[in-house]
Amino acid sequence: MQNVQRSGIFVSAFNTAQIHRECGLKHVEFHPTLESTSKLAQELSAELAHLTPALVLAETQTAGRGRGDHSWWASDGALTFTLVLDVAETRLSPERQSLIALGVGAAVRRVIAVHTGAECRIKWPNDVHLQGRKVCGILTEQKVIDGTSLVLIGVGINVNNSLAVAPEEVRMLATSVFDVTGRSVSLTEFLITTLNSIQSQIDRLANDHTELIHEINAHNLLHNQLVDIQSVDRLTHGRCVGISHSGALQLQTTEGLRDVISGSVIRFEDPQAI
């Protein structure tokens, strides 16, 4: 199916034909402005279920979604998209599907590290940090359409935008590729590299994912940090000793080693700094 650009005429930073061609996509749903690519992907999921792999892409996103009730702030020059995959086509077992966010984090980390040459780490469960500040957020959701299981992978990366214009509470915690390097990059090329890196990591997950888990642990932002995790029914405090093969965050607590399957990191700090 042809790329879709449901808008008036304007000059875009994206070459959708090139993205379509070089990433093996069946459909590119492109919009100059969207509230949220994840939201639109959900709304179009019945249509996109027959067009996987599909991409929902926005030049500008005004109300990006994060995990839970979190939002994602993005300005012009940020890269915001949602990749829609048929779970059956990924060949991922139910156990491996829980690792998608970490696998995508590893994929994005690789791309950003190459572009910046700076320290870039994965923050469990779904963020990437550049020089200690958030540069990427990932939101994975699943939906079943007429028996077809879809995974929707929403990604927001601060690429050519500058956090200098962000609200103060965002500016203190986040950064961008531009802020670190002082130069802009081709968003088309950056997106193509990122999508192909994501596909490569999903392939690794479907096969022997041991090396991928080792890579994630090698770049684990929370390693050896004192961490507070808020889950639905409890607050867990402990020292992070790693990420397990199932994707759980492993914390050494006063009650022993505990695997945290899900939750939000509400605080982390270096024990040496206390």
End-of-domain residue from the set 172, 189, 218? 218
189-244 pLDDT per residue, tens: 999 999 999 999 999 999 989 999 999 999 999 999 999 999 888 899 999 999 99
CATH number of the structural domain spanning residue 266: 2.30.30.100
For residue 1, is pLDDT > 60? no
On whether both 144 and 168 belong to a single domain, the answer is yes
127-152 pLDDT per residue, tens: 999 999 999 999 999 999 999 999 99
Range of the domain at 67: 4-218
Question: What is the total count of domains within the chain?
Answer: 2
Can you tell me the distance from the alpha carbon of 147 to that of 62, in angstroms, rounded to the nearest whole number?
Answer: 32
E-only strand ranges, the chain: 4-5, 27-34, 54-61, 64-65, 71-72, 79-86, 120-123, 127-130, 133-145, 148-157, 226-230, 235-243, 249-253, 256-260, 264-269
On whether both 199 and 258 belong to a single domain, the answer is no
End-of-domain residue from the set 218, 234, 251? 218
Average of pLDDT values for 50-74? 79
pLDDT band, very low/low/confident/very high, at 187 (cuts 50, 70, 90): very high
For residue 46, is pLDDT > 60? yes
Mean pLDDT estimate for the chain: 92
- At 64 the pLDDT is 65
CATH number of the structural domain spanning residue 111: 3.30.930.10
